[in-house]
Chains A and B, each alone.
Chain A
């Protein structure tokens, strides 16, 4: 079965600082990978998805970016964080083309 690892679990960053969240997947190959954000009291917002190495689709304009340097690695980055970037970030993987599974999540607080 597949496993999704995501880190760091928690981070507090000042406004204007960079960000890097990493996600790796085990137990599957060529997965569809996703980054979601869940703000307090809100639903899950799809930020990026990737169907393969180097292939990134962005769902919303923002100061975040994503990269997929390897088949089972997905990275979420920012050069300069904003207060509004605070939230719960979730990496996810599509299993058997139908069901989505999530990593443990990363809590980001921008101060």
Chain B
């Protein structure tokens, strides 16, 4: 079983739509969780950390469900510029980070 699993998509949504991605992880000892955004042929960039109580940054909301071992990312009012691949990252301990394969999002005009 993979450490981190994501639906690869693609998710094709119209502008203004709300879209949600989930990511499951297998190690219950996982400590930290993150969402990264990766544009085509570019490096991944940190989008937001995921906190136990859930957190919001503008149109983006991240949530953690430790009992079911998944994290989620919700994007409201999608913009064309949100088109990218979204990677979930799980840190088990200092040098043990696991990356999902990414979920590709395309926002359509």
What mask results when residues 27 to 45 of chain B are scored 1 for a CB within 8 Å of chain A, else 0?
0000010100000011111
Q: Which residue of B lies closest to A4 (CB)?
A: B43
Contact check, A43 vs B102: say whether CB atoms are below 8 A apart. yes
Determine which residue in B41, B43, B89, B91 has the highest number of CB atoms from chain A within 10 A of its CB, and name it.
B43
Q: Which of B18-73 contact A (CB under 8 A)?
A: 32, 34, 41-46, 49
Contact check, B95 vs A102: say whether CB atoms are below 8 A apart. no
* Number of chain A interface residues as a range: 20 to 34
How far apart sit A49 and B93, CA to CA, in the bound complex (Å)? 14
Contact check, A43 vs B95: say whether CB atoms are below 8 A apart. no
B16 to chain A, nearest CB (A): 29
Contact check, B43 vs A43: say whether CB atoms are below 8 A apart. no
Q: Does A29 contact B (CB under 8 A)?
A: no
Contact check, A90 vs B43: say whether CB atoms are below 8 A apart. yes
What mask results when residues 70 to 111 of chain A are scored 1 for a CB within 8 Å of chain B, else 0?
000000000000000000101000100111111111010000
Q: Which residue of B lies closest to A100 (CB)?
A: B97
How far apart sit A98 and B49, CA to CA, in the bound complex (Å)? 10
Contact check, A98 vs B91: say whether CB atoms are below 8 A apart. yes
Contact check, B95 vs A42: say whether CB atoms are below 8 A apart. no
Q: Does B11 contact A (CB under 8 A)?
A: no
Contact check, B41 vs A32: say whether CB atoms are below 8 A apart. no
How far apart sit A42 and B87, CA to CA, in the bound complex (Å)? 11
Contact check, A102 vs B32: say whether CB atoms are below 8 A apart. no
What mask results when residues 92 to 109 of chain B are scored 1 for a CB within 8 Å of chain A, else 0?
001101011110000000
How far apart sit A44 and B34, CA to CA, in the bound complex (Å)? 14
Q: Which residues of A contact B (CB under 8 A)?
A: 32, 34, 42-44, 46, 49, 51, 57, 88, 90, 94, 97-105, 107
Q: Which residues of B contact A (CB under 8 A)?
A: 32, 34, 41-46, 49, 87, 89, 91, 94-95, 97, 99-102
